[in-house]
Amino acid sequence: MKQEIIDINIQEGIANCGGSEELYKTVLESIVLYVPQRLDHLLACLEQKEYKEYIIEAHTLKSNAALIGAVGIASQAKELEYAGKSGEYKVLHKKTSILIAQFENVLEQIKKPDFC
């Protein structure tokens, strides 16, 4: 099955890093290293119904996605963060796996040597 290409606005990501392409690349390296652990923790929080911790992880993932210019992912994470804050836990159970899959897709794109 072919993976969907997630839109990453590289220029926006560079702008978010003060206009520094070098800093943007450093941020991307950090994202690749640390986001998989955050995704695992998000899922564990959901499974264990630790919703306060889930909200914190969703917020962090939202910020990480926005920083690199993955606006769609950031929007999804924001939706889940706010759903958690509103006690709409069914939304979390329904949409978390989608967010995780799409963020994993972003990570795969970033790892490609020709990404940016």
Q: What's the pLDDT score for residue 1? A: 33
**Percentage of the chain with pLDDT > 90?**
90
Predicted confidence at residue 5, as pLDDT, reads: 53
Q: What pTM value is reported for the model?
A: 0.90
Rounded to the nearest integer, the mean pLDDT of the chain is 93
Length of the chain: 116
What pLDDT digit, counting tens, does each position of 66-98 carry?
999 999 999 999 999 999 999 999 999 999 999
pLDDT at 4 over 50: no
**CA 29 – CA 34 distance, rounded (Å):** 9
How is the chain classified by DSSP, letter by letter?
A: -PPPPPP--HHHHHHHTTT-HHHHHHHHHHHHHHHHHHHHHHHHHHHTT-HHHHHHHHHHHHHHHHHHT-HHHHHHHHHHHHHHHTT-HHHHHHHHHHHHHHHHHHHHHHHSTT--
